[in-house]
């Protein structure tokens, strides 16, 4: 049997759901730590202090870059996709990352990239969504109802350590933190989400077959 691809969780934060809203941070969990991009706009970010504080809080290496605009950040993620993701045997994964509003990461990114005519970053990286696996292959019923969101499934099936490190009870609080310039809080939430996703993909790999991971190509038909 061939070796499985290395799963790379991704999660984004935004200012909302509208086409005029922007991406505020994008995080990836790599084998040796987290790679995080943030767009603070006109606010200053102390990169080194934030990296150290976040690395200590999450007990993992955090590589953070701050970008002056959303477009600059998206271009940096495109370079990251070409230089780091594409050449390796990686599988991009998200938890409910495709159904807009319910899981909006990829649709939101496509719209933002298209609006700025920037190269799509995931041209050579396959993708799988974790939500269908946990909806159909695990029992996530608690207190008489099904709990299928990332935070609930993580708490039910793994533990709540990362939930304790997440400063928000609801993702909408990340918008307020961004508007107030509280970038540490924003990034703590982003990192908690990608590490929760990482914990769930490790769980799925232990108890589910390869066929459960419905991989798809993210390579566009044509590229800018």
CB neighbours of 154 closer than 8 A, spacing ≥ 6? 160, 162, 163, 196, 199, 200
**Does residue 1 form part of some domain?**
no
In Å, how far are 9, 23, 29, 163, 190 from 34, measured between CA atoms? 10, 18, 4, 17, 10
How do beta strands 23-30 and 33-38 pair? antiparallel
Query: What does the mean pLDDT of the chain come to?
Result: 92
Cα R_g (the chain), whole angstroms: 17
Answer yes or no: is pLDDT of 41 > 90.
no
**Does residue 143 form part of some domain?**
no
**Does residue 139 form part of some domain?**
no
**Does residue 177 form part of some domain?**
yes
**Does residue 142 form part of some domain?**
no
How do beta strands 141-142 and 145-146 pair? antiparallel
In Å, how far are 63, 78, 87, 91, 212 from 124, measured between CA atoms? 23, 11, 8, 10, 21
**Does residue 222 form part of some domain?**
no
Can you give the residue range of the structural domain that contains 201? 6-130+162-208
Question: What's the pTM value of the predicted model, to 2 decimals?
Answer: 0.94
The per-residue pLDDT for range 43-100, each reduced to its tens digit, is 778 899 999 999 999 999 999 999 999 999 999 999 999 999 998 999 999 999 987 5
Q: What is the DSSP letter of 46?
A: -
Tokens 């935070």 map to which residue? Answer: 151
**Does residue 103 form part of some domain?**
yes
Report the domain count for the chain.
1
The enclosing domain of 70 has a CATH number of 3.30.420.10
The per-residue pLDDT for range 9-33, each reduced to its tens digit, is 999 999 998 999 999 999 999 999 9
**Does residue 71 form part of some domain?**
yes
């Amino acid at each position: 049997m061939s070796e499985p691809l290395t799963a790379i969780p991704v999660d984004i934060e935004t200012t909302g759901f509208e086409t005029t809203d922007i991406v505020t941070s994008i995080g990836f969990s790599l084998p040796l730590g987290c790679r995080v991009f943030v767009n603070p706009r006109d606010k200053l970010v102390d990169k080194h202090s934030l990296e150290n504080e976040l690395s200590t809080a999450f007990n993992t290496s955090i590589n953070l870059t701050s970008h002056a605009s959303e477009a600059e950040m998206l271009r940096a993620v495109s370079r990251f996709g070409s230089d780091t993701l594409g050449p390796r045997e990686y599988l991009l994964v998200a938890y409910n990352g495709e159904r807009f509003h319910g899981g909006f990461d990829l649709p939101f990114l496509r719209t933002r990239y298209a609006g700025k005519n920037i190269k799509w970053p995931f041209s050579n990286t396959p993708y799988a969504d974790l939500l269908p696996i946990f909806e159909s292959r695990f029992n996530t019923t608690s207190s008489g109802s099904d709990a299928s969101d990332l935070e609930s499934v993580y708490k039910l099936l793994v533990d709540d350590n990362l939930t304790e490190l997440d400063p928000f009870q609801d993702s909408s609080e990340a918008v307020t933190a961004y508007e107030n310039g509280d970038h540490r809080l924003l990034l703590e939430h982003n990192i908690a989400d990608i590490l929760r996703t990482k914990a769930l993909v490790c769980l799925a790999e232990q108890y589910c077959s390869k066929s459960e991971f419905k991989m798809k190509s993210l390579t566009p038909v044509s590229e800018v």
